[in-house]
């Protein structure tokens, strides 16, 4: 597909959808993400679209619509894996627990499984809370600077709020895991800082990661794999064996 044809396709798709995600569009058009970013930049220079972190939208669309697209996209990626991981990991939660949930897409799968439990859930993710309609326990959304693109709070106020909690369980997701060095990465520094604080204040530290997290590079190193008590994943690999002495690794079947 020629550049002009591709850019016309992008504009036509934006007429039908409130926003487009870079990664998803690159896969559908069978081109690199860099190519899509260049197309976006060209269209921005022509005043036809607006760039947002992770994608683009038409000038007359709202940032909330873009956030909704991000949430829907997260839920659609590796759905079976995330649901299987969530169903297994959630069994560690007991009534009365104080549980931390991060802003990852696996947390979106975890919270609906906890709605009937008498627990306290603390999160900084508005996306996570939007995934449910009722909750028998107590839900706490940390204050702070609000990021409309990712629907989460962050910054000094958020970190200060976080210091006052002691968690029974911390559920952490990640953008990637480097098995060679045992490093766990997040997509940005804000998420990384919050995860660090939460892990320090948790009795049980649980990492949830589907197979795709072992096949991509990270950006911000937030923890070591051995920092976690449990890793729940659907990824089976010999390289994981070296970490079993410190971390309990539970490999789930994505079909459960």
Q: Give the separation between CA 85 and CA 251, rounded to whole angstroms.
A: 8
Percent of the chain whose predicted confidence (pLDDT) is above 90: 50
Segment 232-251, tens digit of pLDDT: 999 988 889 899 999 999 99
Structure tokens of 165?
Answer: 């909690």
What is the model's pLDDT at position 130? 79
CATH number for the domain that contains residue 56: 1.10.10.10
Q: Are residues 136 and 241 in the same domain?
A: yes
In a domain, 70, yes or no: no
Say yes or no to pLDDT of 230 above 90: yes
Segment 63-113, tens digit of pLDDT: 666 666 666 666 566 788 899 999 999 999 999 999 999 988 888 889 999
Q: How far does the chain reach from its first CA to its final CA, in angstroms? A: 40
Domain that holds residue 55: 3-61
Q: By three-state DSSP, how is residue 1 classified? A: coil
Q: Are residues 35 and 154 in the same domain?
A: no
Q: Are residues 148 and 116 in the same domain?
A: yes
In DSSP notation, 127-171 reads HHHHT-S--SSEEEE--SEEETTTTEEESHHHHHHHTT--EEEEE
In a domain, 69, yes or no: no
Q: How confident is the model at residue 8 (pLDDT cuts 50, 70, 90)?
A: confident
In a domain, 67, yes or no: no
Segment 130-164, tens digit of pLDDT: 778 899 999 999 999 998 767 889 999 999 999 99
Among 221, 213, 222, residue whose Cα is nearest residue 240 = 213
Q: Please tell me the total count of domains within the chain.
A: 2
Q: Give the separation between CA 180 and CA 240, rounded to whole angstroms.
A: 10
CATH number for the domain that contains residue 88: 3.40.50.1360
**Which pTM value belongs to this model?**
0.76
Q: Are residues 105 and 136 in the same domain?
A: yes
Q: How far is the CA of 238 from the CAs of 52, 232, 241, 253, in angstroms? A: 39, 15, 5, 17
Q: Are residues 84 and 15 in the same domain?
A: no
Q: Are residues 180 and 55 in the same domain?
A: no
């Amino acid at each position: 597909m020629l550049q002009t044809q591709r850019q016309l396709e992008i504009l036509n798709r934006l007429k039908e959808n409130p926003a487009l995600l870079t990664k998803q569009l690159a896969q559908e058009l069978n081109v690199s993400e860099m190519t899509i970013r260049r197309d976006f930049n060209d269209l921005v220079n022509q005043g036809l679209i607006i760039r947002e972190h992770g994608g683009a939208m038409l000038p007359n669309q709202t940032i909330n619509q873009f956030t909704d697209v991000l949430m829907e996209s997260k839920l659609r990626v590796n759905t079976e894996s995330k649901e299987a991981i969530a169903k297994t990991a959630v069994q560690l939660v007991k009534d009365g627990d104080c549980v931390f949930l991060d802003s990852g897409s696996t947390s979106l799968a975890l919270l609906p499984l906890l709605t009937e439990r008498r627990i306290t859930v603390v999160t900084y993710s508005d996306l996570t809370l939007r995934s449910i309609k009722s909750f028998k326990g107590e839900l706490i959304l940390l204050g702070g600077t609000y990021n409309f693109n990712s629907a989460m709070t962050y910054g000094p106020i958020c970190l200060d709020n976080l210091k006052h909690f002691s968690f029974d369980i911390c559920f952490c997701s990640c953008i990637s895991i480097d098995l060679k060095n045992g490093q766990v990465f997040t997509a940005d520094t804000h998420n990384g800082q919050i995860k660090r604080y939460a892990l320090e204040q948790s009795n049980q530290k649980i990492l949830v990661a589907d197979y795709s997290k072992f096949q991509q590079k990270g950006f911000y190193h937030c923890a070591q794999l051995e920092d976690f008590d449990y890793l729940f994943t659907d990824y089976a690999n010999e390289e994981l064996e070296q970490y079993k002495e410190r971390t309990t690794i539970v490999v789930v079947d994505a079909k459960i």
